[in-house]
Chains A and B, each alone.
Chain A
Amino acid sequence: MMPMSQDQALAGAIFEDSAVLTVRDLSRICAVDERHIVEFVEEGVLEVVAVDTVEWRFTGAALRRARLALRLERDLEINLAGVALALELMDELEHLRRELNVRR
């Protein structure tokens, strides 16, 4: 761990704004095999934004989704198809909760 200076504020950048991620990036940041990231794409858990290049590209938002998917897989012992379904249902639930809040 780095020694820390308490008084100096660290300037942080918004990761999602600048990030264009490759399979390798996601694999490194999430600490999983590249193969695993590829499986996420094949199952529709992660979306590739630029397919024209030789390499797949993801937006920074894919990081959050990948990590969420990994947590679900590990903690709930569900397979990839189950993770994909859970994520879709969670998206829908979030959407409905928002609608409900707007109308309330």
Chain B
Amino acid sequence: MSEKPSTGNFRPEDAPAYESILQCMRCGFCLAVCPTYALTNRERSSPRGRAALARAVAEGKLEFTSAVRDEAFLCLDCKACSTACPSGVRVGTIMELCRSQSQSFHPPSLPAGMLRDFILKRMLPSPAMMETSMIPVRLYQRLGLQWAVRNLRINRFLPDVLAKMEGILPTLAPPLRTEIPETIPAQGERRGRVGFFLGCAMSLVFAEVSRQTARILSQQGFDVVTPKEVKCCGAPHLAEGDRDSARRLALINIDLFRSLDVDYIVTDCAGCGCSLKEYEEILEHRADHDTVRLFCSKVRDISEFLAEVGIRTEGLRPVPLSVTYHEPCHLVHGQGLSKPPRQVIRSIPGVELREMKESSWCCGMAGSFALKELETSRRILERKLANVRDTDADVLVTANPGCHLQLAWGVRELAMKQPVWHIVELLGKSLPQ
């Protein structure tokens, strides 16, 4: 019992801890909440089955086969199983580590690998490069080509994956990172100083949403500092199994925010928030613990932050709408935040919150999953949208750019009436001009 546990057929670097796998006592409570098990009814595509596969690899009973890799990537990493697991097993995290393992056991083919490396190691870490890469898309939209493609149904002739890529992108505004002031002063009685962690997707795709976030923070009495040197949070790297790049980005972001002297670090992207809070875990034994812990302790999702400091409601204008709320996995399961977003919604005068069934069930976006597993993703989305439709609410509210894209695409495809808003867009409508 005392000898250092071997990692079996895992390579030692970034192997899932054997104890963390053994923690699963196979009660099967996770089967009820796993979207991929719900679709396949296949044990190996369930959290319990995935943990058992990892255990077989760790115990040397199974090589890290391509089926293990496939299950690691079919896992949505929605972490619903972590919320459901009374024993505290985190299969999503174990699968993230398996994704990282798979890079050495099953390296991608050369061109695919080069593309992956280019995106993860060059493009995502460089906001400027990402912004440049989006220029053709903006041009395409600006010139009316998108309108033409959609209205003439030219996208029928595109391969499915390109059609979805085309369909899922909203009209892009210029990136917020380049436009937002470094510091926006607090309005009214000053309550503190927050660093705004502006995520890549938010800045590039949802600039108007994050503009609202900054506006709300300032209106609520906080100086808002948005550093322009901010790097990608590392979530895509963790999801794709590139833990080294994720660590490098984490160290840069920690340093950056340490220099800003802020009380809180707030983000309006559930994925970023989840990833930022995990810095302590991914940097364990690799960076000064106190520094990392201090950083993590300051990180808040926007709803979490507002619920914690208390929303100043004076002057809020009524928003006479019924809304239903889709819980992003990275908020409810990744960060355990289920009540705060509802508190924020309920604090807005005039808003009626209509709970949908299975509000914490994944929407099927799950990072790049929506493009890699088109059909599976679509079926998961349909389940979600049926629950949305049942509420007959005016607006579908969520709090994460991935979900936002997927849901907006889905309601458009199915010609549903609900627009999709980020929670801060809803709150923004209530703010005095």
The judgment on whether A and B are partners is no
Task: Name B residues whose Cβ lies closer than 8 Å to a Cβ of A.
Answer: none
Task: Name A residues whose Cβ lies closer than 8 Å to a Cβ of B.
Answer: none
